[in-house]
């Protein structure tokens, strides 16, 4: 009788949300997933994010096994043009990252191995890693199921630090980007959370009846928090942002705009 074919030995790729920066905000599920990883793939941005890289390395040192290999992938530069070109530029950047990851999976992930990608905050919130991973495994020569481990997002750390609920009773919250906020200001009654705002879009809103809850570098030693009526707080935030950005070379901030009353 011919021997039964051997079962395919699955590789796995796990996307691990590691929280917004504070190693204490890494969940126990993420700790288990880190300990199970044979290879961790990390996308490295420019040198200006060295302190973020140090926080990520600290998390790896604490939780990855000593024999876990860390494979650094040089993040392709993002060339984002004007509005019309934005979608194309992001799509092409995702494709380049997916190709890098696909190649790294083929080169580095052996049969039965567990690969991991670390994602700041939660992988489901304004993060392309899931799309990039799906595209990468689709091009791999063998099946690689993708799993996701949730993380504490910067959004949830923002509301926790300001001691506020995300939504008012029965009310809606829109989650958007600085770019979209500039196109569509907050509708009355619907609060707005804004991510990826490099151009302080809140300064171009009518501030009447709006409060702002702002946070930068949440969960890191440089954390900054400012809250108050938008009319009064906007200038303070712009100044704090500019000073911190000049000092550190990069800025990560997000905010909630809440209707008063
Ligand atoms: C690509 S998104 C990633 C969000 C992430 N997946 C999360 O769950 O927090 C990056 C944006 O998230 C926000 N962000 C991420 N980490 C942050 C932090 N530690 N403090 C403040 N904002 C942060 C900023 O708006 C930044 O531009």
Ligand 1 atom nearest to CA at 217: 20
**Residue 32: enclosing H or E segment and its boundaries?**
helix 28-36
Q: Give distance in angstroms: CA of 95 to centre of ligand 1.
A: 22
Q: Give distance in angstroms: CA of 143 to centre of ligand 1.
A: 31
Report, as an integer, the average pLDDT of 111-124. 96
Ligand 1 site, residue 153, Cβ cutoff 6 A: yes
pLDDT at site 51: 83
Residue nearest to atom 25 of ligand 1 (CA): 195
Residue 83: pLDDT band by 50, 70, 90 thresholds? low
For residue 46, what are the contacts with CB-CB under 8 A and spacing of at least 6? none
pLDDT at site 24: 94
Instruction: Find where tokens 């984002």 sit.
Output: 80
Residue 45: pLDDT band by 50, 70, 90 thresholds? confident
The tens digit of pLDDT for each residue in 85-94 reads 666 777 787 8
Sheet with strand 146-149: strands edge to edge: 69-74, 39-44, 114-119, 12-17, 146-149
Instruction: Find where tokens 């420019």 sit.
Output: 46
Contact 229, 210 (CB under 8 A): yes
Ligand 1 site, residue 181, Cβ cutoff 6 A: no
pLDDT at site 206: 94
Provide φ and ψ at 144, rounded to 5°. -135, 95
Is the per-residue pLDDT at 84 higher than 60?
A: no
Query: CA dihedral in degrees (136, 140, 143, 146; nearest 10)?
Result: -20
Residue nearest to atom 7 of ligand 1 (CA): 121
The tens digit of pLDDT for each residue in 64-77 reads 999 999 999 988 77
Report, as an integer, the average pLDDT of 241-251. 94
Q: Give distance in angstroms: CA of 22 to centre of ligand 1.
A: 13
Ligand 1 site, residue 254, Cβ cutoff 6 A: yes
The tens digit of pLDDT for each residue in 167-211 reads 999 999 999 999 999 899 899 889 999 999 999 999 999 999 999
Q: What DSSP letter does each residue of 81-118 carry, written as one string?
A: -SHHHHHHHHHHHHHHHHHHHHHHHHHH--TT-EEEEE
pLDDT at site 1: 63
Q: Give distance in angstroms: CA of 157 to centre of ligand 1.
A: 10
In this predicted structure, which of 9-13, 175-179, 251-255 has the lowest mean pLDDT? 9-13
Substitution site in 17, 18, 20 for ligand 1 pocket (most atoms within 8 Å of beta carbon): 20
Report, as an integer, the average pLDDT of 156-164. 98
Residue 99: pLDDT band by 50, 70, 90 thresholds? very high
Contact 16, 36 (CB under 8 A): no
Ligand 1 site, residue 255, Cβ cutoff 6 A: no
pLDDT at site 2: 66
pLDDT at site 255: 98
């Amino acid at each position: 009788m011919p021997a039964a074919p051997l079962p395919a030995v699955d590789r796995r790729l796990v996307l691990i949300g590691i929280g917004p920066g504070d190693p204490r905000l890494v969940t126990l599920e993420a700790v288990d997933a880190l300990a199970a990883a044979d290879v961790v793939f990390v996308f490295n941005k420019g040198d200006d994010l060295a302190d973020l890289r140090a926080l990520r390395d600290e998390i790896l040192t604490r939780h990855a096994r000593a024999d876990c290999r860390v494979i650094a992938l040089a993040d392709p530069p993002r060339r984002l043009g004007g509005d019309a070109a934005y979608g194309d530029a992001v799509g092409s950047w995702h494709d380049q990252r997916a190709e890098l990851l696909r190649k790294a999976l083929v080169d580095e992930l052996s049969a039965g191995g567990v690969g991991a990608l670390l994602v700041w905050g939660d992988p489901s919130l304004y993060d392309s890693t899931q799309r990039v991973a799906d595209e990468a495994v689709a091009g791999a020569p063998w099946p690689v199921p993708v799993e996701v481990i949730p993380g504490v997002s910067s959004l949830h750390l923002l509301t926790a630090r300001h001691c506020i609920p995300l939504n008012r009773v029965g009310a809606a919250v829109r989650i958007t980007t600085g770019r979209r906020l500039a196109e569509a200001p907050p509708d009355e009654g619907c609060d707005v959370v804004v991510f990826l705002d490099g151009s302080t879009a809140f300064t171009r809103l009518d501030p009447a009846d709006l409060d702002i809850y702002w946070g930068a570098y949440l969960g890191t030693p440089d954390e900054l928090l400012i809250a108050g009526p938008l009319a009064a707080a906007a200038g303070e935030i712009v100044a704090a942002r500019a000073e911190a950005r000049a000092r550190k070379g990069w800025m990560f901030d997000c905010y909630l705009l809440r209707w008063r009353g």
